[in-house]
Amino acid sequence: GRVAVIGIDGASMRVIEPMLEAGRLPNLESLAREGVMGPLRSAVPIRSPRIWNSIATGKVPQKHGVMDFAERGPDGKMHLLLSDSRRAHAIWNILSDSGLDVAVINMWNTFPPEKVRGVMISDHLLSREIEGRKSFTGAEDAPVGALVHPQSLAPKLSKLLSDAPPLVEFQNPFGVYVSLPLWTPRQSLSKRFDEDLALARFAYEVNRDIDPAFMMLLLPGIDRVSHHLWGALEPLESYPPNVRMSEAESYGARWILESYYEFTDALLGKLLSPYGPDDLVIVLSDHGFEAGVD
């Protein structure tokens, strides 16, 4: 059968387990019931490029070569790590070289896109994401070039970005007025919802068009939203008074965060609808238990 791997960046069992028990994540619950569920041990430091490249290659960072978001080049300046920074074959390279069609969407360090047998949509597709990486690493301007292989798909991608029908009927939680901490960038986080929706649409369309033997997609929204709203899961008194949420702000932040998990679960249901009992489906996160920490 076919294989689908869907990565949910930053997803935490601390949120997922009580929501599963409450019946709020029906598609994840179905996967857990019919298959296997458990925590994965991650590696310290938990930095997305390191972990996702380990997932893609089966090798520790020291072997695959992607240690961080950026590195200092011979010119003394910081540069974002790219697809040629990976020193080991990823699973999509191995399968493609074996004559199988693959579809890879938004996985870390896939720019420039590799010439696989099938489709690769680079992680540089979302320009705002790259601006953020450059900002916190101090990296120089990222190189420009094709964002998808084959390039003939570029017009279709542009159309889907600007005029794609929604993959699922789910209200953007940031469009609902609830109290949030003053430092929450509501408008910016609202766009994360639209971006995850677009990435899922790309994966759905590509899967339908080429029916690949292997599909791998990374949805970054939960991680980006959690960076701003995770504090709602901690006791209010654990924060200094000057950065403490009110009870209303804590409730609103938690509601939106959990709603985003429900939205992601709805996307999973649509993305996995073409797969049957003879196919292998894996849903995983990079934020498991830290190595050496209970």
The DSSP code sequence of 2-68 is -EEEEEETT--HHHHHHHHHTT--HHHHHHHHHS---PPB--SS--HHHHHHHHHHSS-HHHH---S
Task: Give the tokens for residue 232.
Answer: 């709602």
Nearest CA to 287 out of 3, 6, 7 is that of 7
pLDDT tens-place string over residues 220-268: 999 999 999 998 998 888 888 877 889 999 999 999 999 999 999 999 9
* Cβ(145)–Cβ(83) below 8 Å: no
Q: Which residues contact 166 (CB under 8 A, 6 or more apart)?
A: 197
Residue 111 to residue 114: CA distance in whole angstroms: 8
Confidence of residue 42 (pLDDT cuts 50, 70, 90): confident
* Cβ(66)–Cβ(49) below 8 Å: yes
pLDDT tens-place string over residues 200-213: 999 999 999 999 99
- Does an H or E element contain 223, and which? helix 221-229
- The residue ranking higher by pLDDT, 127 or 282, is 282
pLDDT tens-place string over residues 148-200: 999 999 998 888 877 777 899 999 999 998 999 888 999 999 999 999 999 99
Give me the pLDDT at residue 294, please.
29
